[in-house]
């Protein structure tokens, strides 16, 4: 009843091939955009921006990137952390080398550089598959972290070995550095998230996306029906790298402001993003958002309940937090192996029939 496809007639080709062909989806999408752009920036404060929204948005981009590689193309990667570091360090080098250029150019450029690096590390995927590939991407993880730590050029030979984001603006609005307003941080991330999500959605609906999915489902069969595995796999690595690079650049410049490669872009990050797409749902853009929201909000929520609400000692709360998040992840996998996105699909099915279940 509430959610229905009936009565929604497409009379032109553009109408039929628009991003959200179903009316309800479209309106929901407009509503989300309206709230995200029109309301939240006016009410957001430092805490909500830094603890919830900015990390959520940035992780959503990274999750979309990894979802393209893992969810759509079936190539498991455990190198996301290091690939984000590539984005972060290229962004840092660009910001310090060309201070007058807008961040709106630096960030996509960092994405492009990352895409190149990730494609390079994607080359073994043509030969190695499954878990062997996953573990092989760990080579990228450890090597890149070591490289950024060792070669002084990457951090401009600073004595501390850390990179810190200088103040840069977009059309006169400061978006990096300590004096950034909460809403400016939020909006720049939102801008990139919207662009990335739209691009990803349309890529996955088209020829490229279909060839990725063919490779995922059975690469030999895909090759036989004429999908070029070299092209499909490497484009997936490149596109994924582009998104992950953007996420890394934003993560460093807008969210953290200062970073050290081993600590901020370690292997934990790779696992975290992988968790997001599994919990959210493999092969779903919505799932990437849901997973990111879940993994960002869960610890904050649990902490507030245990420490703020129940007044427990922080260490007990932190241990319990581990237990609860681990338990929840396992529970989720058991109850709904296809992630939050599948729950959403089921909800839509129910809504279609509601209030007449038969």
Partner 1 sequence: MPDQLLFAMEVTLNGLMAGVLYALVALGFVLIYKASGIFNYAQGVMALFSAMTLVGIMDGQIPFAHLINAMFGTDLHHFGWHVPALAAILLTVVVMVVFAWLVQVVIFRHLVNQEPILLFMATIGLAYFLEGFGDLMWGAEIKKLDVGLPQGINDWIDLTTFETFGYGFFIDNLDISATIVAVILVAGLIVFSQYTKQGRALRAVADDHQAALSVGISLNYIWVLVWSVAGFVALIAGIMWGAKSGVQFSLSLIALKALPVLMLGGFTSIPGAIVGGLIIGVGEKLFEFLIGPMVGGATENWFAYVLALLFLVFRPQGLFGEKIIERV
Partner 2 sequence: MKLTTLTIAAVMAAGPVMADLVFPSLSYRTGPYAANGIPFADGYEDYFTLLNERDGGIGGVPIRVIECETGYNTEKGVECYESTKGEGALVYQPLSTGITYQLIPKATADGIPVHSMGYGRTSAKNGQVFSNIFNYPANYWDGASHAVTHILNENSGDISGKKIALVYHNSAYGKEPIRTLQELSGKHGFELMEVAVDHPGQEQKSQWLQIRQQRPDYVLMWGWGVMNQVAIQEAANIRFPMDKFIGIWWSGSENDVLPAGDGASGYKALTFHNLGKDYPVYADLQKYVVDAGKSAGAGDQLGTALYNRGMYAAMLAAEAAKTAQEISGNSDISPAEMRAGMEALEITQAKMEAIGLPNFGPTFSVSCDNHGGDGYGAVAQWDAGAGQWSLITDYYQSDQSIITPLVEEDSAAFAAENAITPGCS
Residue identified by tokens 């990667």 is: 77
Residue 167 as a binder of partner 2 (CB under 8 A): the answer is yes
CA gap 66, 86 in Å, rounded: 15
Residue span binding partner 2 (CB under 8 A) among the ranges 78-86, 112-120, 154-162, 238-246:
154-162
Query: Is 116 or 262 the residue whose CB approaches partner 1 more closely?
Result: 262
Residue 310 as a binder of partner 1 (CB under 8 A): the answer is no
CB-based burial, 318-342: b 16+ in 10 Å, e otherwise: bebbeebbeeebeebeeeeebbbbb
Q: Are 249 and 106 in contact (CB under 8 A)?
A: yes
| Residue 19 interaction partner, one of partner 1, partner 2, none, beta carbon < 5-8 Å per kind | none
Phi, psi (deg, nearest 5) at residue 12 = -130, 160
Residue 220 as a binder of partner 2 (CB under 8 A): the answer is no
Query: Is 170 or 328 the residue whose CB approaches partner 1 more closely?
Result: 328
CA gap 266, 110 in Å, rounded: 19
Residue 321 as a binder of partner 1 (CB under 8 A): the answer is yes
* Sign of the Cα pseudo-torsion (315, 317, 323, 326, in order): negative
Question: Please, what is the minimum distance in Å from the beta carbon of residue 258 to partner 2?
Answer: 4
Q: Is 207 helix (H, G, I), strand (E, B) or coil?
A: helix
Q: Are 250 and 90 in contact (CB under 8 A)?
A: no
Count residues near partner 1 (CB under 8 A): 49
Q: Are 233 and 137 in contact (CB under 8 A)?
A: no
Which string of x and - marks every residue 15-54 that binds partner 2 (by CB under 8 A)? -------------------------------xx--xx---
Which string of x and - marks every residue 181-220 that binds partner 1 (by CB under 8 A)? -------------------------------------x-x
Q: Which two tokens stand for residue 336?
A: 């709904």
Query: Is 182 or 277 the residue whose CB approaches partner 1 more closely?
Result: 277
Residue 127 as a binder of partner 1 (CB under 8 A): the answer is yes
Which string of x and - marks every residue 149-188 that binds partner 1 (by CB under 8 A)? -x--------------------------------------
| Residue 297 interaction partner, one of partner 1, partner 2, none, beta carbon < 5-8 Å per kind | partner 2
| Residue 166 interaction partner, one of partner 1, partner 2, none, beta carbon < 5-8 Å per kind | partner 2
Q: Which of residues 240-299 bind partner 1 (CB under 8 A)?
A: 267, 271, 274-275, 278, 282
| Residue 220 interaction partner, one of partner 1, partner 2, none, beta carbon < 5-8 Å per kind | partner 1
Q: Which alpha helices (DSSP H) does the chain contain, by range?
A: 13-16, 23-34, 40-43, 46-47, 54-66, 80-97, 103-122, 130-150, 182-205, 207-217, 219-224, 229-250, 261-264, 267-280, 285-303, 314-335, 339-353
CA gap 271, 308 in Å, rounded: 28
CB-based burial, 178-199: b 16+ in 10 Å, e otherwise: eebebbbbbbbbbbbbeebbee
Residue span binding partner 2 (CB under 8 A) among the ranges 21-29, 191-199, 278-286, 306-314:
306-314
Q: From residue 208, give the alpha-carbon distance in Å to each of 116, 196, 266.
A: 18, 16, 31
Q: What residues line the site for partner 2 (CB under 8 A)? A: 46-47, 50-51, 55, 96, 146, 149-150, 158-162, 164, 166-167, 177-179, 256-260, 262-264, 266, 297, 299-301, 303-305, 307-309, 313-315, 317-319, 322
């Amino acid at each position: 009843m509430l959610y229905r496809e009936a009565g929604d007639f497409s009379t032109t080709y553009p109408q039929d091939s628009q991003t959200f062909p179903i009316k309800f989806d479209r309106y929901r999408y407009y509503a989300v955009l309206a709230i995200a752009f029109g309301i939240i920036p006016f009410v957001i404060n430092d805490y909500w921006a830094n603890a919830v929204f900015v990390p959520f948005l940035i992780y959503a981009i990274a999750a979309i990137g990894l979802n393209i590689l893992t969810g759509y193309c079936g190539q498991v990667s455990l190198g996301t952390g290091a690939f984000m570091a590539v984005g972060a360090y290229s962004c840092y080098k660009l910001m310090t080398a060309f201070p007058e250029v807008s961040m709106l150019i630096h960030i996509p450029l960092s994405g492009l550089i990352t895409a190149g690096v990730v494609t390079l590390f994607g080359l073994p995927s043509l030969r190695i598959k499954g878990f062997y590939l996953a573990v092989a991407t760990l080579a990228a993880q450890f090597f890149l972290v070591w490289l950024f730590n060792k070669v002084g050029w990457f951090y401009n030979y600073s004595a501390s070995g850390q990179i810190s984001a200088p103040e840069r603006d977009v059309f006169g609005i400061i978006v990096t550095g300590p004096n950034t307003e909460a809403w400016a941080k939020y909006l720049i991330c939102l801008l990139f998230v919207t662009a990335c999500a739209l691009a990803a959605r349309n890529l996955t609906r088209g020829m490229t996306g279909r060839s990725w999915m063919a490779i995922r489902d059975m690469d030999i069969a895909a090759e036989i029906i004429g999908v070029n595995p070299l092209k499909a796999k490497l484009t997936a690595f490149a596109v994924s790298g582009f998104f992950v690079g953007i996420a890394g650049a934003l993560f460093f410049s807008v969210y953290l402001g200062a970073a050290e490669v081993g600590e901020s872009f370690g292997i934990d990050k790779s696992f975290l993003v992988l968790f997001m797409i599994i919990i959210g749902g493999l092969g779903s853009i919505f799932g990437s958002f849901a997973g990111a929201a879940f993994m960002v909000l869960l610890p904050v929520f649990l902490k507030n309940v245990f420490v703020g609400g129940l007044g427990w000692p922080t260490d007990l709360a932190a241990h319990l937090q581990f237990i609860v998040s681990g338990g929840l992840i396992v529970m989720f996998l058991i109850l709904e192996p296809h992630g939050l996105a599948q729950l959403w699909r089921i909800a839509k099915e129910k809504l279609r029939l509601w209030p007449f279940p038969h």
